[in-house]
A and B are shown apart, each in its own frame.
Chain A
Amino acid sequence: MAERVLMKGNEAIAEAAIRAGCRHYFGYPITPQTEVAAYMAKKMPKIGGVFLQAESEIASINMVYGAAAAGMRVMTSSSSPGISLKSEGLSYIAGSDVPAFVVNVQRGGPGLGGIQPSQSDYFQATKGGGHGDYRMIVLAPASVQEMASLTIKGFNLADKYLMTAMILADGTIGQMMEPITFEEAAIETYDKPWALTGTKMGRKHNIVSSLYLKSDELERKNFERYERYKVVEENEVMYEQYMMEDAEICVAAFGIASRVAKNAVAQARREGVKVGLIRPITLWPFPKAVLRQAADQVKSFVCVELNMGQMIEDVRLATECRRPVSLCNRTGGMIPSPEQVLSSIREAQKGVN
C-alpha cells in the first residue's frame, strides 16, 4: 500500500491533478486556495507542464478555454470572488462543450467578503454563475483524501461528458492537513476528435465556438446538451449515508458542514435520538432519489450549511416538501459547533414526538 502522508487539502488537489494527467494550470492567486497555484508553480516546470499566473481571473479562465479546446487536460482554481470573475468563461466553456476542471475553495461573501471558510457559492455552482442554460458537475469533498480522489474523478467526468467539473470546497478543507494515500490514479481517456489540434491538411477544420446565430440551431444544441446532462443525472450521483437505517430525523450536509454534523449525529445517537446523515458528494447531479426515499422513512430533515440556506431548497424540492426541513447555519466564515447542530436535531426531535 502507498505511504500515508500529511498534506493540505489544496496541495492534495494539485498533486491529484498532476496524477490525473493535467499539464496545464492557469490561475490567479487568492486566499484561501493559493497553495494550489504554489504547488503547481513548483511542480509543473519539472514535468514539462505549464504553470501560468495570468494577469487576472478572466484571463486565466479564457486560457483554460483555449487549452481545453485544444484537447488538453487543463484546470484553474480560485476562491469565491475569483469564481465570479471566471463565470463568463465558464458559460462560454459550457456553450462550446469542452471539458474543464475548476476548483472553488470558498470564502465568505458576498462581495469581497472575508477569507474564512464558507459554503455560500452553492447556488452559483449548482445553478450556474454564468448566463445561459448550462450545468456543471459539482463535487463536494469532505476530507483531504476526497480532495484528491474527486479531483481525479472530476477530470474523468469532464472528459466523458464534455463539460466543466468543479470542486466546491471551502477554506477549512483547503487549509487543513490530514493523512492521505495516493493510489494509482485511474485515468480514463476519451477520444477528442473535436479538438483543435491542426488539420495537418488531412481533415476538415474543427470549430470550437459558443456562437449560434440561427435560433433553431442554438435550440438544437441546447436540447442535445441537456440530453447529455440527463445521462449525468442518471449515472453519476454520489452520496454517503451515515446511520440512516432506522433514522427518524435526517441531517443533510455537505463538505465541512457534514463533518461537524457527523459529530452531532454520533452524540445524538448516544442520547438515544434516532438520527442519520445524508451527505451529497455530487451537488449537481443532486442525490434526489435517496432524499426522496428518506422522506418516506424520516419525519423531519435538518439542513446544515455555511450560508443563509441554499442547499435546503434542493432538499425541499427533492423531498417534495413531504416533511419539514429546518436550517442550522452560520455564515461569514463562522462554522456551527456540533452543539449547535445537536440542538437543531433536538428541536427536530420535539416535532417528531
Chain B
Amino acid sequence: MKTTQILIAGFGGQGILFAGKFLAYKGLLEDLQVSWLPSYGPEMRGGTANCNVILSEESVGSPIITNPDVLIAMNLPSLQKYVDAVVPGGQIYVDATLIGEKVGRDDVAVFYIPATQMANEAGVPTLANMVMMGHVLKNHPELTFEGTEETVAKLVPPQKAQLVELNMKALQAGRDYQ
C-alpha cells in the first residue's frame, strides 16, 4: 500500500465520522501517515455526512479526496453521488440493507454487506458503520485485525468503556461476513 483514499458517506447519525476516525486511528497505530476530513456543513445535521480518510506510507498531500480508491456507501444518495468518482480497480462497499440497487460498474470490486440488518441481529443496532469497517479490514490485510480493540479504546471515552466490546462485536460480524 502506498496511498489509500477512503470516502465514507451516508446520513448524519449513522456514525460516518466515527467510522472514519476508526480508520484514521487504525492507520496511526500502524505508523502510517493519515488525514481525516469531515464534512462540517449544515448538511451533516440530519442530511448527508461524509468523511475523507487518507492512509499513506508517505506524507499526505491534499486531504481532500476527489477520486477515492475505496467508497463506503451507507445510503442510496451517497452511492449515486460518488459511484462514478471511484478509481477503476477501486472498491465499493454497500450497505445492502439500506441500498437495494446494484452498482452498475464492472471495473471496481463491489461488496454488498447487509450491515444494518447484521447490526440489528447482533444486538448493536447503531453500529452498522462498524460492521462495514470490519469488512473493510478483512479486505485490507495491511491494516490487520490485530490491535483493533486498542484502536476502538482510543475512540471511546473511558467512562463508556462498555462500548469497546459492542464495537468489537460489530467489527467481528463484518469481518466474518462471507
A257 closest partner in B (C-beta)? B62
Which residues in chain B, 53-93, are within 8 Å of chain A measured between CB atoms? 60-64, 66
Q: Are B36 and A263 in contact (CB under 8 A)?
A: no
Whether, in the assembled complex, A280 has its beta carbon less than 8 Å from a beta carbon of chain B, the answer is: no
Q: Are B40 and A179 in contact (CB under 8 A)?
A: no
Whether, in the assembled complex, A339 has its beta carbon less than 8 Å from a beta carbon of chain B, the answer is: yes
Whether, in the assembled complex, B25 has its beta carbon less than 8 Å from a beta carbon of chain A, the answer is: yes
B8 / chain A contacts, CB cutoff of 8 Å = none
Which residues in chain A, 22-44, are within 8 Å of chain B measured between CB atoms? 31-32
Q: Are A259 and B36 in contact (CB under 8 A)?
A: no
Q: Are A260 and B61 in contact (CB under 8 A)?
A: yes
User: How many residues on the B side are at the interface (Cβ–Cβ under 8 A)?
Assistant: 19
Whether, in the assembled complex, B24 has its beta carbon less than 8 Å from a beta carbon of chain A, the answer is: yes
What per-residue 1/0 map shows which CB atoms of A45-85 lie under 8 Å from chain B? 00000000000000000000000000000000000000000
A310 / chain B contacts, CB cutoff of 8 Å = none
With contacts A6-B24, A6-B25 taken as known, whether A175 is within 8 angstroms of B38 at the C-beta atoms is yes
Which residues in chain A, 218-249, are within 8 Å of chain B measured between CB atoms? none
What per-residue 1/0 map shows which CB atoms of B1-41 lie under 8 Å from chain A? 00000000000000000000100110010000111111011
CA A116 to CA B38, docked complex, whole Å = 12
Whether, in the assembled complex, A115 has its beta carbon less than 8 Å from a beta carbon of chain B, the answer is: yes
- Which of these, A115, A177, A266, A338, contacts B36 with CB under 8 Å? A177
With contacts A6-B25, A6-B28, A178-B36 taken as known, whether A172 is within 8 angstroms of B63 at the C-beta atoms is yes
B64 closest partner in A (C-beta)? A335
Whether, in the assembled complex, A262 has its beta carbon less than 8 Å from a beta carbon of chain B, the answer is: yes
CA A178 to CA B55, docked complex, whole Å = 11
A266 / chain B contacts, CB cutoff of 8 Å = 61
B60 closest partner in A (C-beta)? A178
With contacts A6-B34, A115-B40, A171-B40 taken as known, whether A176 is within 8 angstroms of B28 at the C-beta atoms is no
B20 closest partner in A (C-beta)? A177
User: How many residues on the A side are at the interface (Cβ–Cβ under 8 A)?
Assistant: 23
Least Cβ distance of B110 to chain A in Å? Answer: 25
Least Cβ distance of A79 to chain B in Å? Answer: 12
A203 / chain B contacts, CB cutoff of 8 Å = none
A124 / chain B contacts, CB cutoff of 8 Å = none
With contacts A178-B35, A339-B66 taken as known, whether A259 is within 8 angstroms of B40 at the C-beta atoms is no
Q: Are A260 and B35 in contact (CB under 8 A)?
A: no
- Which of these, B34, B37, B42, B61, contacts A175 with CB under 8 Å? B37
Whether, in the assembled complex, A350 has its beta carbon less than 8 Å from a beta carbon of chain B, the answer is: no
Whether, in the assembled complex, A343 has its beta carbon less than 8 Å from a beta carbon of chain B, the answer is: no
CA A175 to CA B40, docked complex, whole Å = 8
CA A262 to CA B60, docked complex, whole Å = 10
Least Cβ distance of A70 to chain B in Å? Answer: 36
Q: Are B63 and A263 in contact (CB under 8 A)?
A: no
B64 / chain A contacts, CB cutoff of 8 Å = 172, 260, 335, 337
Whether, in the assembled complex, A4 has its beta carbon less than 8 Å from a beta carbon of chain B, the answer is: yes
CA A111 to CA B22, docked complex, whole Å = 37
Least Cβ distance of B116 to chain A in Å? Answer: 26
B60 / chain A contacts, CB cutoff of 8 Å = 178
With contacts A178-B34, A179-B28, A179-B34 taken as known, whether A32 is within 8 angstroms of B63 at the C-beta atoms is no
A6 / chain B contacts, CB cutoff of 8 Å = 21, 24-25, 28, 34, 36
- Which of these, B33, B35, B66, contacts A337 with CB under 8 Å? B66
B33 / chain A contacts, CB cutoff of 8 Å = 179
A residues in contact (CB < 8 Å) with B: 4, 6, 31-32, 115-116, 171-172, 175-179, 256, 259-260, 262-263, 266, 335, 337-339
18 A–B pairs (Cβ distance < 8 Å), ordered by A: A4-B28, A31-B40, A172-B37, A172-B64, A175-B40, A176-B35, A176-B36, A177-B21, A177-B24, A178-B35, A178-B60, A179-B33, A179-B34, A256-B62, A260-B61, A263-B62, A337-B66, A338-B66
What are the 7 closest A-B residue pairs judged by CB atoms, nearest first?
A263-B61, A177-B36, A260-B62, A176-B37, A259-B62, A262-B61, A337-B66
